[in-house]
Structure 1
Amino acid sequence: MARPIWSGTISFGLVNIPIRLHNAIKNKNLHFHQLRKKDGCRIRLKKVCSTDGAEVMAEDIVKGYEVSPDQYVVVSSEELTSVTPKASRSIEIEDFVLMKQIDPIYFEKSYYLIPEPTSMKAYRLLLEAMETSKRVAVAKFVLRNKQYLAVLRPNGQTITLSTLFFADEIISPDELSDLAAGDTQPTEKELKIALQLVESLSNDFQPEKYHDEYREKVLNLIKNKAEGETVTAPAQVQNQPGKIIDLMAALEASVSAIKKQKTSPKRKRVHALQNKR
């Protein structure tokens, strides 16, 4: 069983609910080491001075914040400690809000909150209160000397905690280039066929249906090479400049292609097998 990465309490008014924080995400990123090409020996990175190129030992390195080009304010570890959030074992609920009010752009990383055996009743009370009210809890807590904003929400029989970005970390669309240039308003006919395309592609969300195809291909490549197989890279295909196409024609062709795919004999057989199951 996975070990908790943190333990503490959810503060819900005057109610404290002891919980354990578990990772909800498996990191499946592929990590490569740098090797010397001729003999495969591992490359170690050294920290060197940008002025004289001399290697600098860890004990001689301090933290500096750049306030202007090549101008730094040096901050000691003791000074940083003095402003570090006070260590706390409490997830302090500050507000209950409607989930639809939180733009998904704010979500960062998710965890499971598992109750201690003695707090099961209070845990279930909070979970069912959020389900009944259709609201989620906005809270703050400290993890590894950093303060986080978070949202607690019911997830079946479990409360899930997701850390959020703070508002000043989000780039506003207003800071991007003009999105309203030119005549971009769709016609009624274009919107109608676009809605048909959306409808033809509509389905229930099934996360297990989607795979990281690149990661799977890289792992297969590594497996084959480890077993001594020679892998030949395919010839590179030059990207052709995108053609300007008629929007309406493209929409109609898309709807037609999807209808044809759905009525193909192979697809019908697959659906028949799924229905039998």
Structure 2
Amino acid sequence: MAARSIASLSLSFGLVSIPVKLYSATESGSTVRFNLLAPDGSRMKQQYVSEKDQKVVARADMVKGYEFEKDHFVLFTPDELKALEESSSHVVEIVHFIPEKAVDPIYYDKAYLLAPDKRGGKPYTLLMEAMRESGRCALARWAWKSKQYVVQIRPTDGGLVLQQLLYADEVRSARDLGIEKVEVSKGELQLALQLIEQISTDTYDPAQYEDEVKERWGDTDAYKESARRASQYTKDDWLRIKSESGANIERFAELLRAGAEPTGTEAKDVAEEHRAQISRWFYDCGYEIHRGLAEMYVADPRFTKVYEDVEPGLARFISEAIIANAERRS
């Protein structure tokens, strides 16, 4: 589906005015939507209740207000709200050109894409190439939906990005956390630099970092069933799941410490408990699926580390026990 513009704007600086169209730069990657239902599966309706007299307030009777101090509000009529909306400006006024790395990304808020509107192609391209060549971006003022924004306009692959920026009082500083400053030796620093160099790259390709879980299992019945069940669990449910899982892993670890064989009866029985827990809480975990998980526990370093942090050699022990249990049941 072709992208639809949100608004028509003008980039303005000096005597130059560039007509552009505004587009949202992001969209939600989730395709699954869940509804809150009553226990019998019927839909529920939301009601708003006055804190003062506990009476239900109809939507038509609601008013909007701005809280200027705790529990003190300035109320606005519909006409006043409409006037605020109409005060939005279609002019994005560029006030400075600054080095493109001058803005700390912590100040980044919502991003938009800008495309040239009619008769705006030439000046749009000139501005984009001039900023790219100079290594600078634009800072601008923009009144949008009754709020004044400071925005950054920067060149990117194929076009311009308009980035809303947060104000200073909207951003916290790491200095407020009281982080202890610890001295490091030159040798320690050199080792850290070597580790960084080993996995360094000169570019960022977002296509390499897709939602791995969804990419690998999103179309499977097991993934869909797990997502459905997980959406219904309470905090107490998750605490129980964590407790059961931790106890199961500890039983594996105790067998490993005692010198038991992963193909022994005790280890296979604990593996069967592990499979039953997955089936009980997430999805029907058959023996072939369970075998696949076992192989992943030793093939994927992230899973391996979870078990190795409990007891060295535990990942392989659990993997072999699960496979032995699957073979016993086949």
Please indicate, yes or no, whether the TM-score normalized by the shorter chain is above 0.5.
yes
Deviation at 1:166, TM superposition (A): 1.4
Aligned to 1:108: 109
Please show how residues 204-223 of structure 1 align to structure 2 within 5 Å: 204-213=203-212, 220=220
- 1:49-93, CA deviations, whole angstroms, 9 ceiling, x for partnerless residues? 234432111233233444555x32332235556666823211110
Deviation at 1:223, TM superposition (A): 6.9
Please show how residues 184-203 of structure 1 align to structure 2 within 5 Å: 184-203=182-201
Could you say what secondary structure the match of 2:120 adopts? helix
For structure 1, list consecutive stretches of 5 or more residues without a partner in the other structure: 241-253, 255-277
- 1:166-197, CA deviations, whole angstroms, 9 ceiling, x for partnerless residues? 12211122322x1126xx21222221211111
Could you say what secondary structure the match of 2:35 adopts? coil
Aligned to 2:46: 45
Deviation at 1:225, TM superposition (A): 4.0
Distance 1:90-1:220 versus aligned 2 partners, 3 A rule: farther
Aligned to 1:175: 176
Give, in whole Å, the separation in 2 of the partners of 1:172 and 1:145: 28
Could you say what secondary structure the match of 2:125 adopts? helix
Deviation at 1:124, TM superposition (A): 1.4
Give, in whole Å, the separation in 2 of the partners of 1:66 and 1:133: 44
Give, in whole Å, the separation in 2 of the partners of 1:156 and 1:140: 24
Aligned to 1:127: 128
Could you say what secondary structure the match of 1:238 adopts? helix
Q: Percent identity?
A: 34
CA contact (8 A) 1:85 1:142 kept: no
TM-score, with length taken from structure 1: 0.72
CA contact (8 A) 1:95 1:139 kept: yes
Distance 1:188-1:221 versus aligned 2 partners, 3 A rule: farther
Deviation at 1:221, TM superposition (A): 5.7
Q: Relative contact order (alpha carbons < 8 A, sep ≥ 6): 1 or 2 greater?
A: 1
Distance 1:222-1:54 versus aligned 2 partners, 3 A rule: farther
CA contact (8 A) 1:10 1:93 kept: yes
CA contact (8 A) 1:66 1:72 kept: yes
Aligned to 2:285: none
Which structure would you say has the larger Rg? 2
AA matched with 1:162 = Q
Aligned to 2:94: 93
For structure 2, list consecutive stretches of 5 or more residues without a partner in the other structure: 250-304, 306-330
Distance 1:214-1:67 versus aligned 2 partners, 3 A rule: farther
Could you say what secondary structure the match of 2:132 adopts? helix
Give, in whole Å, the separation in 2 of the partners of 1:143 and 1:192: 49
Give, in whole Å, the separation in 2 of the partners of 1:220 and 1:106: 39
AA matched with 1:154 = P
- 1:110-154, CA deviations, whole angstroms, 9 ceiling, x for partnerless residues? 221111241211111111211121110011223333332211111
AA matched with 1:190 = E
Deviation at 1:224, TM superposition (A): 4.2
Deviation at 1:218, TM superposition (A): 6.7
More helix by share: 2
Distance 1:83-1:20 versus aligned 2 partners, 3 A rule: closer
Please show how residues 1-277 of structure 1 align to structure 2 within 5 Å: 1-29=2-30, 30-37=32-39, 39-66=40-67, 71-77=71-77, 78=79, 86-176=87-177, 178-180=178-180, 184-203=182-201, 204-213=203-212, 220=220, 224-225=224-225, 236=242, 237-238=245-246
CA contact (8 A) 2:85 2:145 kept: no
TM-score, with length taken from structure 2: 0.61
* Total equivalences in the alignment: 232
AA matched with 1:121 = K
AA matched with 2:246 = Q
AA matched with 1:42 = R
